[in-house]
Amino acid sequence: MTAEHTTKQRHPLAGKTMSGAEMIIQVLVDEGVDTIFGYSGGAILPTYDAIFRYNAAHKRSEQVRLIVPANEQGAGFMAAGYARASGRVGCFIVTSGPGATNTVTPIRDCAADSVPVVLICGQVPCAAIGTDAFQEAPVFNIMSSCAKHVFLVKEPGELEAVARTAFEIARTGRPGPVVIDVPKDVQNAAGVFQGGGLLNLRGYHDRMAALAAARVSREQAKAFYEMLARSDRPLIYAGGGVISANAARELRAFSQAFNIPVVTTLTGIGSVDTTSELSLHMLGMHGTAHANYAVEDCDFLITIGARFDDRVAGKVSDFAPRAKYIAHIDIDAAEIGKVKAAQWVFVGDAKTALADLCAYGKHFKKDFTKWVRHIRELKREHPMNYDREASLILPYYVIQCLNEITRGDAIITTGVGQHQMWSAQYFDFHQPRSWITSGSMGTMGFGLPAAIGAKTACPDRTVIDVDGDGSMRMNLGELETVTTYDIPVKIMLMNNLGDGMVRQWQRLYFGKRFSGTDKSLHKKDFVKTAQADGFEFARRLDDKSKVKQMLRDFVAFKGPAFLEVMIDQEAGVYPMVGPGMSYREMITGDYINKREEETPSPPPEEVIDMTKIPDLF
């Protein structure tokens, strides 16, 4: 591989002799990295030493912050939380062998949710690779099936260009994780710092150039608006790709311009203001009943940055059964037609596509008031609900009370399980990048380290990790990381003494045989654990009458705060669409109104004089 030198202005350090480790740190600084998450070890010592020496040579405002977690997995999720909250590339650095293998889960998690991070791993010296040397692992082989791209750098002269290229690959196209495996001797090798340049990856650069240049053509726009003109019940289905593309503003403008309601995936939450009249919130397995009913009723499904995931589409053949047309916008051509066929497609940037469609359609007129009125009625007839007279503390009530305090302005992170779904259902979000959760991989233990990363990226935002007792145990050691660095995150643990989501499935589908999911005999005292880790605010809440005041105290506390809430062990997540089932088979529980009657047929198609459509353009 050869390097392309693309910088127009000469780097002030160009021509200076540096070690490979020093080059790595300088490239990170050049790429805007202000925080590194990671754990040291023998094979990465030269790079950690370079961090120390870089910071010693610079004033505090120019230093790179280093946050050392309890476990390398925690470092990966911190980098992911940083990237998801900020939109910038997260960075973490670990040693070889077990240090690297501990990061496989966060790398796969980032790939599954299209999160841009760069992982730098130490590796044994080049001559020792393949000899089963101490703390050696085949990182390239392991990570190749998990990451967007992996580099094993054996030539010191390529290290600088590889590091810069890693950031470019992570952030461009469909974002994702990039891994750089750097042998210890390459870190120690001296070379001349170039101050710029990327690897000559012609195929990748050509594809990225084509994606950057992709625009909705006049003919494509005409075809889109012909379908919209023939539609009476259009619905936008927005996914995490809208967040990744920073296209929330364009999505909102498009939705409002044409009065089209929006449903979002789990990772698409925040792409529209959840309190908007046109927002139906989340669809899918645990989506709101009114969102799923809207999908059942729509006749034109406009899919943006989403991929018809199994937790959304369920029984694919019955998904959006009355949709005469499906449009699909995605930056990854591999997602087009993979699960569900579409009549109109655009492969490219969602932000650009929506702006183009808005521009082409500025003279398009059609009144969807009747459909919006129907949406309003769905929301009124089938709202989220629960037993409001219960004597035990119900999780829905807790989150509603917390939502009244945060007013939709906090960054919420979660682990995975029932607490994740309750949070998705009952919190409001006014802005994108305020909801941070492990979507596709569903990784327990994600919430706490992700909150640390998010708060580091956005120090002026309130950051709350809503967690479950099962997820909390997975990365419990990161409680100490919070207090070590005095990161003022708020951690609300909803404890139902078990793996609630799995228990719910066992209750519904496995004859209430709670194999391996009952944690009521566990002796863990989470409050004492938090106190032992230095939390000055560490309390347990088990009295429903004290919920509101305790939550106010929890959020108002100036430093890190930990609150354990003992919730009803039998509380379930509803609605629920069973695996492989259609939305018509949705279970709504005892307190959410189910639509018993047959889904209404769409109204007669409006007769459109198609000869007038070209005049719009």
Q: What is the pLDDT of residues 466-478, one digit of tens each?
A: 999 999 999 999 9
The pLDDT assigned to 614 comes to 45
In CATH, the number for domain 3-211 is 3.40.50.970
**To the nearest whole percent, how much of the chain has pLDDT over 90?**
94
The pLDDT assigned to 318 comes to 96
pLDDT tens per residue across span 401-410:
999 999 999 9
Backbone angles phi, psi at 382, to 5 degrees: -130, 55
User: Rounded to whole angstroms, how far apart are CA atoms 56 and 192?
Assistant: 22
**To the nearest whole percent, how much of the chain has pLDDT over 70?**
95
The pLDDT assigned to 548 comes to 98
Q: Residue 605: pLDDT above 90?
A: no
User: Rounded to whole angstroms, how far apart are CA atoms 420 and 472?
Assistant: 12
The pLDDT assigned to 3 comes to 55
Among 22, 31, 72, 160, the one annotated catalytic: 72
pLDDT-derived band at 83 (thresholds 50, 70, 90) equals very high
pLDDT tens per residue across span 408-464:
999 999 999 999 999 999 999 999 999 999 999 999 999 999 999 999 999 999 999
Among 143, 492, 501, 576, the one annotated catalytic: 501
Q: Tokens 């974002």 belong to which residue?
A: 175
Helix/strand/coil (H/E/C) assignment for every residue in 366-432: CCCHHHHHHHHHHHHHCCCCCCCCCCCCCHHHHHHHHHHHHCCCCEEEECCCHHHHHHHHHCCCCCC
Backbone angles phi, psi at 411, to 5 degrees: -90, 125
The pLDDT assigned to 519 comes to 85
- Cα angle: 313, vertex 318, 324; to 5 degrees: 100
pLDDT-derived band at 7 (thresholds 50, 70, 90) equals very low
- In three-state secondary structure terms, 17 is strand
396 to each of 501, 507, 556, how far by Cα in Å? 15, 20, 21
Q: Sort strands 463-468 and 537-541 into parallel, antiparallel or unpaired.
A: unpaired
Per-domain boundaries in the chain: 3-211, 214-384+595-616, 395-566
The pLDDT assigned to 612 comes to 47
User: Rounded to whole angstroms, how far apart are CA atoms 120 and 147?
Assistant: 13
User: Rounded to whole angstroms, how far apart are CA atoms 185 and 178?
Assistant: 21
Which of 126, 49, 32 is closest to 83 using CA atoms?
32
Q: Residue 606: pLDDT above 60?
A: no
Active site residue 135: yes
User: Rounded to whole angstroms, how far apart are CA atoms 99 and 93?
Assistant: 9
pLDDT tens per residue across span 557-568:
999 999 999 999
pLDDT tens per residue across span 273-307:
999 999 999 999 999 999 999 999 999 999 999 99
DSSP H or E stretch at residue 190: strand 190-192
Residue 132 burial by Cβ neighbours in a 10 Å radius (0-12, 13-18, 19+) = exposed
Residues paired with residue 494 on neighbouring β-strands, in sequence order: 468, 565
pLDDT-derived band at 607 (thresholds 50, 70, 90) equals very low
pLDDT-derived band at 596 (thresholds 50, 70, 90) equals confident
User: Rounded to whole angstroms, how far apart are CA atoms 358 and 272?
Assistant: 16
Q: Which CATH number fits domain 214-384+595-616: 3.40.50.1220, 3.30.1520.10, 3.20.20.70, 3.20.10.10?
A: 3.40.50.1220
Residues paired with residue 37 on neighbouring β-strands, in sequence order: 67, 92
Q: Sort strands 17-19 and 190-192 into parallel, antiparallel or unpaired.
A: antiparallel
Question: Are 473 and 524 in contact, with CB atoms under 8 Å apart?
Answer: yes
Among 4, 16, 63, 135, the one annotated catalytic: 135
Which of 161, 208, 166 is closest to 3 using CA atoms?
161
User: Rounded to whole angstroms, how far apart are CA atoms 64 and 421?
Assistant: 36
User: Rounded to whole angstroms, how far apart are CA atoms 137 and 102?
Assistant: 11
State the chain's mean pLDDT as an integer.
Answer: 95
Mean per-residue pLDDT, 57-63: 96
Q: Sort strands 3-4 and 198-199 into parallel, antiparallel or unpaired.
A: antiparallel
DSSP state of 605: P
For residue 530, give both structure tokens. Answer: 């938090």
User: Rounded to whole angstroms, how far apart are CA atoms 471 and 416?
Assistant: 6
pLDDT tens per residue across span 355-392:
999 999 999 999 999 999 999 999 999 999 999 999 99
pLDDT tens per residue across span 568-578:
999 999 999 99
Among 1, 52, 62, 134, the one annotated catalytic: 134
Among 37, 73, 168, 184, the one annotated catalytic: 184
User: Rounded to whole angstroms, how far apart are CA atoms 260 and 255?
Assistant: 5
Active site residue 208: no
User: Rounded to whole angstroms, how far apart are CA atoms 135 and 129?
Assistant: 11
- In three-state secondary structure terms, 270 is coil
For residue 177, give both structure tokens. Answer: 């994780």
- In three-state secondary structure terms, 592 is coil
Would you say the CATH fold of 395-566 matches that of 3-211?
Answer: yes
pLDDT tens per residue across span 105-160:
999 999 999 999 999 999 999 999 999 999 999 999 999 999 999 999 999 999 99
Mean per-residue pLDDT, 217-233: 97
Question: Are 256 and 553 in contact, with CB atoms under 8 Å apart?
Answer: no
Q: What's the CATH class of domain 395-566?
A: alpha beta
DSSP state of 546: G
Question: Are 489 and 461 in contact, with CB atoms under 8 Å apart?
Answer: no
Which of 53, 44, 83, 57 is closest to 240 using CA atoms?
83
Q: Residue 258: pLDDT above 60?
A: yes
Q: How far apart are the first and last CA of the chain?
A: 47
**Long-range CB contact pairs, 518-523, < 8 A, 24+:** 519/469, 519/470, 520/569, 522/497
Q: What is the side-by-side strand order in the sheet with 561-566?
A: 435-436, 411-414, 463-468, 490-495, 561-566, 537-541
Residues paired with residue 560 on neighbouring β-strands, in sequence order: none
User: Rounded to whole angstroms, how far apart are CA atoms 297 and 228?
Assistant: 15
Question: Are 177 and 116 in contact, with CB atoms under 8 Å apart?
Answer: yes
Which of 441, 495, 438 is closest to 470 using CA atoms?
495
User: How far, rounded to the nearest angstrom, does the alpha carbon of residue 546 sit from its chain's CA centroid?
Assistant: 33
User: Rounded to whole angstroms, how far apart are CA atoms 238 and 269?
Assistant: 9
The pLDDT assigned to 1 comes to 52
Active site residue 512: no
